Amino acid sequence: MLDIQLLRSDLEGTVARLARRGHRFPVEEFSTLETERKLLQTRTQELQARRNTLSRQIGHAKGRSEDASAIMAEADGLGHDIGQVESRLERIQAELQHILLQTPNLPHVSVPVGKSEADNRAVRSWGTPRVFEFAAKDHVSLGESLGLLDFSTAAKLSGARFSLMTGALARLHRALAQFMLDTHTNEHGYVEAYVPYLVNAESLLGTGQLPKFKEDLFEIPRRQEGGGRGFSPEDARSGADDGNLYLIPTAEVPLSNIVRDRIVPHESLPLRLTAHTPCFRSEAGSYGRDTRGMIRQHQFDKVELVQLVHPRQSYEALEILTGHAEKILQKLGLPYRVMELCTADMGFSATKTYDIEVWLPGQDAYREISSCSNCEAFQARRMQARFRNEKGRPELLHTLNGSGLAIGRTLVAILENFQNADGSVSIPEALQPHMGGMDRLRGKA
C-alpha cells in the first residue's frame, strides 16, 4: 500500500510514477473522495469533541448531585448527528482504502520503463549453455522414459497441472529442497522456518495477494454448506473476512507476515528467513501457457527467502538476496542469466525485481526460476510491520523476498541440462551427498 500522504502532497507526481508501470490511478475519484474525507473527518471530530466535553460535564454534575438535564438534552441531540456523519465518513474512508489497496507499488527510479517482458534488461549471465552432440530431449520425455515422472496418473488423481514423481526422481526433488535449505541456513545466514500452508485473508492482504488477485488462489471454505451455520447475509454485507483459509501461493506470505503487527528492535535487523513449502496457484488466466510438463503447476515446491531490513539497506539487501539465489544455480552448475524487470513486468508489490532465468535445453530458452523483489514499505504498511529506529520511534520495515529456488523448475533444469545420450541423467556433484552418493538417474529397465 502506498503512503496516502504521498498522494495528498504530490498527487500529480505519484500518478505519473504509477503510469510508468502502466497503472491508471483514478485521480478524479480520489480527489473528490479526499476533499470529502477532510470535511467529514473534521466535522466528525468536532462533534465528538463536543460530546466528550458534555459527557464530562454531566459526570461532574452528577458527582456533585447537581441537575444535568439541560446538558443531557444537548448531548442527546448530538448523538444523532454524530452517527450520521460518522457513517458517511466511514463509507468515504472505505472507498479511499479500496483505491489504495488496488494501487500497485511505485517502481524504483532505476527500473527501466517498458511495455512488456521484452523490455526487461539483461544484467549478467553465468555459465554457458551446453552444446549437445545428440538430440536433447525435454524433461517430460526424459522423466517419462526413465519411468520416474507420470503426468497421466497425476491427472487421474487430481486433474491437469499436477505431477507425480516416483523413485529416484522423487528423492532428487527432496534432495534439492534439503540442499537449498542447507546452503541458505549454513552459508547465507537465514533462519529456517516451518510455516502454515493455509493462511487467513489478513495475511494475504498484508503481502498484497488480496484483494486484487483472489482468483489466483485456492480458497478453502471453512464452514460446511448445509449442515453448518453457513454464510449469513450479514457476513456478506459487512464485507468482513468470512474466516476462510487459503492455500499459500508462496511461503513469502507466512514468512513476511511473521512480523505483521509487530515492532521489532532495530538491533535484530536484518531478519533473514527461509522455508521450504509447497505452493498452490490456480493459475487462472494462464490456460494456454506451458501446458506441457512441470513448468506451470497448481502445486509446486519452493524454498523461499525473505528479508526484513532497515529501509536504508533494502537495495543492498536485494543484491545480496539475489546473489543467494544465484549461488544455488552456481553450485548445481546450471547456466542462468539475471534480468532486471521493466516497469510493465514487475509484480504488484515490488519496486524493483530481478528474475533469474535458468537455461532449459528442452525449450531452447531461459526460463524464470527465481524472482527477487524489494517491496520497500509497501507490504510493511499493509502489515503494520515495524521496527523501533535509532531514535526510539516506530518505523516501517522494508520487505524483500525471492525464490531460492523453485524446486520443480530446478528439477526440470537438471533433467534437461545433465541428460546423457542414453537417456540417463547425471546428478550434479553438489547433490550427490543428499542422494546417498547416487550419481545418475537411470531407467528402470
Name the residues annotated as catalytic: 281, 296, 368, 371, 409
- Determine the size of the site formed for RNA (CB under 7 A): 33
Check residue 398 for interaction with RNA (CB under 7 A). Answer: no
Q: Give the shortest CB-262-to-RNA separation in angstroms.
A: 10
CA–CA distance, 308 with 398 (Å, rounded to integer): 6
Among 32, 45, 153, 420, which residue interacts with RNA (rule: CB under 7 A)? 45
CB-based contacts of 338: which residues, under 8 Å, 6+ apart? Answer: 122, 123, 124, 125, 322, 326, 354, 355, 356, 357
Residues in 103-132 that interact with RNA by CB under 7 A: none
* Under rule CB under 7 A, residue 78 binds RNA: yes
The C-alpha cell at 405 is 529456488
Tell whether residue 160 is a contact of RNA (CB under 7 A). Answer: no
76 binds RNA (CB under 7 A): yes
Q: Is 72 in the site for RNA (CB under 7 A)?
A: yes
Phi, psi of 224 (to 5 degrees): -70, 140
Residue 382 burial (CB count, 10 A): 25
CB contact at 8 A, 100 and 8: no
- Classify each residue of 160-180 as buried b or exposed e, where b means 16 or more C-beta atoms within 10 Å of its C-beta: ebbbbbeebbebbbbbbbebb
Query: Which grid cell is 282?
Result: 490456480
230 binds RNA (CB under 7 A): no
- Tell me if residue 190 falls in helix, strand or coil: coil
Q: Does 91 bind RNA (CB under 7 A)?
A: no
**Is residue 75 close enough to count as binding RNA by CB under 7 A?**
yes
For position 292 contacting RNA by CB under 7 A, the verdict is no
Helix or strand run (H / E) with residue 176:
helix 167-186
Instruction: Kindly indicate which of the ranges 59-67, 127-135, 186-194, 340-348 contains the residues binding RNA, using the contact rule CB under 7 A.
Output: 59-67
Q: How many residues does the chain have?
A: 445
Q: Does 79 bind RNA (CB under 7 A)?
A: yes
Residue 243 or 433 with smaller CB distance to RNA: 243
Residue 354 pairs in a beta bridge with 340, 372
- Shortest distance in whole angstroms from residue 252 CB to RNA: 22
Region binding RNA by CB under 7 A among candidate stretches 34-42, 205-213, 318-326, 435-443? 34-42
Q: Which residues bind RNA (CB under 7 A)?
A: 4-5, 8, 38, 41-42, 44-45, 48-49, 51-56, 58-60, 62-63, 72, 75-76, 78-79, 238, 240, 243, 263, 386, 393-394
